[in-house]
Amino acid sequence: MSMPVILIAVVGGLFGIIVLAYVIMSSKMQNKNTKYVKQLVEGTKKSSFSMDIFYQKFYIKCVNMPFLRRYTLKLRRRLEIINLEDEYITRKQVAKILFKAIILVVPLTAFIIYMTYSNFLLLSSLLLFELFFLESLLEGMVDGIDNKLLREQLDFFAEIRHAYHEYNMVEEAIYEVSQDDEKEVSRQAEKIYEVLISDDPETELEKYYDIAPNSYLKEFAGVSYLTKEFGDRKDKDGASLYLKNLNNITQEMQIEIMKRDKLDYVFQSLSMISAVPILFLDVVKNWAIGQFAFTRQFYNGTLGFMVQVGLIILTFLSFIIVRKLKDNGSVNTAKNMENPWQAKLYKKPLVKKLVDCFIPKQGSKDYRKIVQLLKDSASKLKIEWLYINRICIAILGFILGIIILFAAHKMAINYQFTEPTSDYNLLGTMSESQEKKAMETTEKDNYFLKKYQHDYDITQEELAEDVAESDQYGMSSAEELETITTRIWDKLQIVQSEYVKWFEVLIALVIMVLSYQGPVWLLIFQKIMRQMDMENEVMQFQTIILMLMKIERVNVEMILEWLERYSNIFREPISKCVNNYESGPWEALEELKNDISFQQLIRIVESLQAAVEQIPIREAFDELDTERAYHQEKRKESNERLIARKSKIGQIIGFAPMVVLFVGYLIVPMCVIGMTSMTKAFSTMSSMSM
* Calpha distance 241→232 (Å, rounded): 6
* Calpha distance 201→204 (Å, rounded): 5
* Calpha distance 304→589 (Å, rounded): 60
Instruction: With beta carbons less than 8 A apart as the criterion, state whether 144 and 100 touch.
Output: no
What pTM value is reported for the model? 0.72
Backbone angles phi, psi at 168, to 5 degrees: 60, 25
Query: How many CB atoms neighbour CB 149 within 10 A?
Result: 21
- Please, how many CA atoms are within 13 Å of residue 6, restricted to the half-sphere of its CB? 3
| Per-residue pLDDT at 336 | 47
Q: Pick from 572, 556, 570: which is nearest to 608 by CA?
A: 556
* Calpha distance 444→451 (Å, rounded): 12
Q: How many helices (H) and strands (E) does the chain have?
A: 32, 0
| Per-residue pLDDT at 440 | 81
Instruction: With beta carbons less than 8 A apart as the criterion, state whether 399 and 276 touch.
Output: no
| Cα radius of gyration (the chain) | 34
- Give the three-state DSSP class for 428: strand
Q: How far is CA 102 from CA 109, 192, 319, 491, in A?
A: 10, 36, 21, 49
Q: What angle do CA 577, 579, 583 make, to 5 degrees?
A: 90
* Calpha distance 216→254 (Å, rounded): 11
Select from 483, 514, 532 the last residue of a domain.
532
Query: How many CB atoms neighbour CB 354 within 10 A?
Result: 14
DSSP 240: B
- Give the three-state DSSP class for 379: coil
| Per-residue pLDDT at 45 | 47
Residue 106 identity (one-letter amino acid): V
Backbone angles phi, psi at 44, to 5 degrees: -80, 160
Query: How many CB atoms neighbour CB 383 within 10 A?
Result: 17
Mean pLDDT per block of 10 residues along the chain (690 residues) reads: 52 56 50 49 49 84 83 82 76 87 85 77 76 78 85 90 88 87 82 90 87 86 87 76 88 87 82 80 83 78 83 86 70 50 87 90 87 80 90 92 85 80 56 76 84 84 84 79 85 82 87 91 83 78 84 84 84 88 88 83 87 79 73 78 85 89 86 76 62
Residue 479 identity (one-letter amino acid): E
Surface-to-core class of residue 43, CB atoms within 10 Å of its CB (0-12 exposed, 13-18 middle, 19+ buried):
exposed
Select from 67, 94, 117 the last residue of a domain.
117
| Per-residue pLDDT at 389 | 92
Residue 473 lies in a domain: yes
Phi-psi region of 329 (alpha: psi -120 to 50; beta: other; left: phi over 0): left
Q: What angle do CA 6, 8, 14 make, to 5 degrees?
A: 105
| Per-residue pLDDT at 395 | 93
Q: What angle do CA 568, 334, 98 make, to 5 degrees?
A: 145
Positive or negative: CA dihedral 503, 505, 508, 509: negative
pLDDT tens for 64-93 read: 888 788 888 888 887 877 777 678 888 888
- Please, how many CA atoms are within 13 Å of residue 519, restricted to the half-sphere of its CB? 20
Strand partners, 240: 234
Residue 673 lies in a domain: no
| Per-residue pLDDT at 108 | 83
Residue 2 lies in a domain: yes
Strand partners, 428: 292
Contacts of 635 (CB under 8 A, 6+ apart): 255, 536, 539
The terminus-to-terminus CA distance of the chain in angstroms comes to 58
Tell me the residue length of the chain. 690
Residue 678 lies in a domain: no
Q: How far is CA 560 from CA 378, 470, 546, 604, 619, in A?
A: 20, 92, 13, 11, 17
Surface-to-core class of residue 36, CB atoms within 10 Å of its CB (0-12 exposed, 13-18 middle, 19+ buried):
exposed
Positive or negative: CA dihedral 276, 278, 280, 284: positive
* Calpha distance 307→313 (Å, rounded): 10
Residue 459 identity (one-letter amino acid): T
Residue 581 lies in a domain: no
Select from 63, 95, 117 the last residue of a domain.
117
Contacts of 197 (CB under 8 A, 6+ apart): 171
List, as one string, the DSSP characters of 96-128: HHHHHHHHHHHHHHHHHHHHHTT-HHHHHHHHH
Positive or negative: CA dihedral 160, 163, 167, 168: positive
Q: How far is CA 235 from CA 192, 239, 240, 550, in A?
A: 25, 5, 6, 8
DSSP 582: G
| Per-residue pLDDT at 512 | 93
Residue 259 lies in a domain: no
| Per-residue pLDDT at 50 | 60
DSSP 292: B
- Give the three-state DSSP class for 473: coil
Q: Pick from 52, 92, 86: which is nearest to 72 by CA?
A: 92
Query: How many CB atoms neighbour CB 128 within 10 A?
Result: 12
For 435, the domain range is 336-532
How many domains does one find in the chain?
Answer: 2
Query: How many CB atoms neighbour CB 633 within 10 A?
Result: 11
Contacts of 445 (CB under 8 A, 6+ apart): 421, 487, 488, 491
Q: How far is CA 66 from CA 61, 71, 73, 75, 242, in A?
A: 10, 10, 11, 15, 50
Residue 67 lies in a domain: yes
Residue 213 lies in a domain: no
Backbone angles phi, psi at 494, to 5 degrees: -65, -45
